[in-house]
A and B are shown apart, each in its own frame.
Chain A
Amino acid sequence: MSETTIVETGKRPEVASSSPGEWIRKNLFSNIPNTILTIVFGVFALYAIRGLLGFILSGERRWEAVATNMRLLMAQGYPANQFVRVWVALGCLMVLTGLSLAIWNAKGQLPIKKISNWTMNIGFGLMLFAVLAPISPSSRLGWVIAGVLFLTFGFGLWMSTKNNQNRTLDSIPTVWFSFGFLGTLVLSLWIVPFGHYAFTNGELVAETGRTVAMSTKLPFTVMWVLLVCSYCVIIRVRDYLPTGQAKALLVGLWFLSPFVLNWIVLRDPDFDYGHVISTDVPVAALFIFAGGGILYLLTKPSLGELGRLTAIALLIFGVFNWVAAFFGWYPMLQKVRISFVLLALAALIAPNFAADRRTRLKFVTGWGVLIVISHWLITAVNSPSTLELQGPTYLGGFSLTLFVAVLTLLLSFPLGVLLALGRTSSMPIARVLCTGYIESIRGVPLITILFFFSNILPLFLPQGMEIAELAAIVTGYTLFSAAYLAENVRGGLQSVMRGQYEAADAIGLTTSQRTGFIVLPQALRVSIPPLVGQAIGVFKETSLVAIIGAYDILRIANNVVPAQTEFLGVKREGLLLVSVIYFIVAFSMSKYSQRLEERVGLGER
């Protein structure tokens, strides 16, 4: 997909704007039933807004419970002395975002007219708030003044776009607008003292100077600077960079980031360097060089059938290692077993890279990188952590929610694609197995699957083998979400024309080449919108882990905060905050998917 699809080529014809009076007549009071509807529902809406504001601003609400527990809600019991790791992880994501924005050269433009509309809407909203909210008259006046200011500013902007016919600036880049918006939010931390609350001798007092904003304003400023700087630097030198390779590198980094940030940055493994040098490095080197040599030989174009036979032999050996592990025939490092399977899989796809020396070396280099990263991560996971934990895990609160959602999505994607391929294949046994799996998983609620994996799975494991609670949850959730994902991908697969298969067969592609290079790219392109929809669903349903006892943001808001002696039974505030957080993420994802749908051009044909 080149950039040409991203650039908005044509503008929509401008609708002749009608005067406000006309607009009101047309949309609100066009005839008698319409007028009645407007009045009835207008009164209802005002009443509902007033009720909601009354609920939020009522004196009984104890929002300080949320403000004081913000760290608990976001990153549960992460040790305070190492909290900088959380900021480092967030900073890495910011840098990646800035780099991606620059490399993909986001060219969206935001018309000034739209901004003026938004500003005026905010002004109206503030006025409405001032009128409806149950606040003191003096602060009411303040809100009215703020509303009037916004209104005048927006109106001025609007007039400037109208009068100035040969205008030079009728829109600004969306990226800069977003940076400005985020910058304002960060700036507000320095000015507005969010949450003046701290505990002194077990009593809640409004301390001056020590605020929630206090402890986070510096880190958040650093985050913002990282984001903007990484964008600015790269956008300057973008023209001198090999864009294609940079994009590939960035996609790889994004893919790696959840694993590296979680298991290396946040968990901080305490590597046993003696063991690393004596065992881990030699094993990895052996796989890189010996495995790389084998792969280099296997990609020789004149090799023919021998290559496939070797790959199959490797696969059988790789699987046999696991069977041997089950029966305990001979000891072997888990890492080595995994690496053998990876080698077999690489050998199976090797014939696709049988070309000139350059391509073969590229393939072998890719293998080396894969081994380095996978061995690094496996060693990190198996090393003890340096964190001093109170709870069972260092993840908690919103970070746990994010981690479970991202990991589930990443893991369930390949599994779902395989299931979809199995269900649409012409092989009867494979089809029956896949269909049975998909339908039975889709028939039961997620919560029963999660109960199964957290309560019953330990019964099925070999004696002495244990599975961490979080791992069991992610496993169950992955298996569940893969069945749904498979149905979405199947829809895409069914939309691929029969002629595409026949054309692929006609030019002599093998089945795997046909699937990988012809069918799947077309099928996945069609199923992008439903897949984004499913990603939203997975993110929302991550909240279910609260029921089986994981300390995600919902469980903390619903069970932990109301149990604190200072905030006994304060539940609604936390739950409202959780709703708002989920809403912001899910709503922006769904808006993005709508834009994506327009861009892919689905529904247009």
Chain B
Amino acid sequence: MSTDTEVQPSNYHHQKPPFYRDATVVKWLFQVGALALVVFALWFLSSQARDNLSARNISTGFDFLSIDPGINLSEGIDTRPATGGRALWVGMVNTIRLATAGIFFATVIGLFIGLARLSNNWVVNKLGSVFVETLRNIPLLVQILLYGAILANLGDLQFDSGWDNWVIWSNKGLSVPRVFIADGFYQWAVFMCIGALAARWMYNQRSGLHDKTGENTHPGLGSFAVLTIFGIVGWFIHPIFGWVGNIFGAISDGISKVPEEVLQLVLSAVAISIAANWIRGFLASRRTPGGSARLTDDDKFRIIFAGVGSVLAILVVFVVWPGLSSWIINSSSDLFEVLENKFGDGRTGGPFGVDRPEVVKPGKFEKYGPSGLTMSLGFAAVFFGIVLYTAAFIAEIVRGGILAVPKGQIEAANSLGMKRSTALRTVILPQALRVIMPPLGNQYLNLTKNTSLAIAVGFSDLVQVGQTVGNQTGKNLSVFAIWMLFYLACSLTISVAVNFFNVRLRIVER
């Protein structure tokens, strides 16, 4: 290999490699091969599935959504759903209910345990450590089953089981007081919106004064006081906002008059402008100092992808799903109509009400009355499981986030003469939150996915209902598709929310 190249280096430079060693050719050959393999595999599997399904006389499709599945659910907004779709919807509502409550309580408990693990007090510190190390090293499913078994062995429901009818527990579940939205809530909400505007104005006013004079004018406290005053006053005089319903009624009528074609055109215009905007921004970001954009294969691919995406969106609007725009019009019109009905005459009660749980005896056995907020055994087992398990992880995240704040920041705050609480609020927590937020979002995702373990204790979440419906109708494949879509949508929602906060919390650089 040879002296030639050493004598004439320029020749070597111009030698083209054989085509099968050319990086570009190999790369694309490999990719096309991989794509072909994937497509072949999918085609093969789906053709097999078609043959197998027809051999077993099972039809695919989603028609089961409108057929009576003939099942009873253990709990939910509808325990005897009339259609398969309704059954799955009940399951989704149960899942969302469980996940929302779980996220709230896991965050609160996790925050406290995380702070406890940073405490100087030996007892508090050790208790926090034991909580975290025990709960995160035992599988969630084992915990759920264990809590379920313990709850199932509580005493029978009697009229005096529990703490004086504020909290009642028995082997039929747990019942706690229910706080509900009463008649006057929507008028009161309008009051509070105005109150929020006033509070914001107050905040600006006070902090403006602070900037000018340097005095501590307590802007946060002032605006909170304004909001409180509005809340209290509104509690009594909120019926004066009964007329707001008419505005919503007018909006509802207006929307229902919009022709379908106009909305279709607007939607296409939005799709095109989003794609165009994105491409323009992308080109701008790839601009070299010379002025022209330098694009790699990959960049071109992305641009094409964005264009194809907008075309696909337009196709969906006009061809694939022409009913979409009329659906949007109808449902938003309906939404405003519902809002209109929420205001109206005779709604003079307070915004909230509280009902204590009760025990009734309609037949031979006692059961919980409808007034309290009752957790069934299954719900309670899964709820305690996911809350405690996730709280252990969140505690570690909180602790890590606070420890990640550089020591110099705390020392600087001390040397400025800040109080410990002020330093915590204005220096440490904002920086810790930046570290805490992304893994916290991950834990929320995990918690939502972990609600699917409810099937082990027979709580009717989406997976349990789907499994029942699938076995009943033989449409396991379609149910699986619905599961995937639902959980992907949940994941997407949570990541969008978390990302929103991440962007807000990011360090502002020049």
A-side residues, CB < 8 A to B, are: 27-28, 30, 34, 37-38, 41-42, 44-45, 305, 308-309, 312, 326, 426-430, 433, 440, 442-448, 451-452, 455-456, 458-463, 536, 540-544, 546-547, 554, 558, 571-572, 575-576, 578-579, 582-583, 586-587, 590
Contacts and interface: CB of A to CB of B under 8 A. Distances in A.
Interface SS, A side: helix
Nearest to B297: A428
Contacts of B121: 27-28, 34, 37-38, 41
A540 B385 CA distance: 14
30 contacts: A27-B121, A27-B122, A28-B123, A30-B120, A37-B123, A38-B122, A41-B124, A308-B21, A428-B298, A429-B34, A430-B30, A443-B491, A443-B492, A444-B483, A444-B484, A446-B449, A448-B463, A448-B487, A451-B463, A452-B480, A455-B470, A460-B52, A463-B48, A463-B52, A540-B138, A547-B456, A558-B145, A558-B149, A582-B137, A583-B134
Name the residue in B48, B141, B301, B302 with the highest tally of chain A Cβ atoms < 10 Å from its Cβ. Answer: B141
Contacts of B103: none
Interface in B286-324: 296-298, 301-302
B484 A448 contact: yes
Contacts of B296: 426
A572 B48 contact: no
Nearest to A588: B137
Nearest to A305: B18
Contacts of B484: 440, 443-444, 448
Contacts of A30: 120
A452 B18 CA distance: 46
Given A38-B121, A38-B123, A45-B127, 14 more contacts: A37-B123, A308-B20, A428-B31, A444-B488, A445-B452, A447-B452, A456-B476, A460-B52, A540-B140, A544-B141, A547-B455, A554-B141, A572-B153, A582-B137
Nearest to A572: B149
Contacts of A541: 139, 141
Contacts of B463: 445, 447-448, 451
B31 A430 contact: yes
A448 B31 CA distance: 30
A481 to B, nearest CB: 14
A252 to B, nearest CB: 31
6 nearest A-B residue pairs (beta carbon): A445-B452, A586-B137, A445-B449, A540-B139, A27-B122, A429-B31
A45 B483 CA distance: 43
Contacts of B133: 587
A459 B488 CA distance: 24
A542 to B, nearest CB: 8
A587 B146 contact: no
A575 B143 CA distance: 8
A461 B34 contact: no
B44 interface: yes
Contacts of A44: 127
A554 B476 contact: no
Contact of B453 (A28, A326, A442, A447): A447
B467 interface: yes
B142 interface: yes
A445 B467 contact: no
A564 to B, nearest CB: 16
Task: Give the interface size class of chain B.
Answer: 35 or more
Interface string B35-50: 1001000001110110
A34 B119 CA distance: 10
A591 to B, nearest CB: 9
Contact of A326 (B27, B44, B452): B44
Given A42-B123, A459-B49, A554-B142, A448 B483 contact: yes
B508 interface: no
A37 to B, nearest CB: 5
A444 B462 CA distance: 12
A37 B127 CA distance: 12
A579 B35 CA distance: 45
Nearest to A35: B121
A443 B487 contact: yes
Given A459-B52, A463-B52, A554-B142, A433 B38 contact: yes
Contact of A445 (B45, B146, B487): B487
A305 B26 CA distance: 14
Given A27-B120, A428-B297, A463-B51, A572 B139 contact: no
Contacts of A42: 123
Nearest to A559: B145
B421 to A, nearest CB: 13
B505 to A, nearest CB: 21
Nearest to A304: B1
Nearest to B301: A428
A385 to B, nearest CB: 29
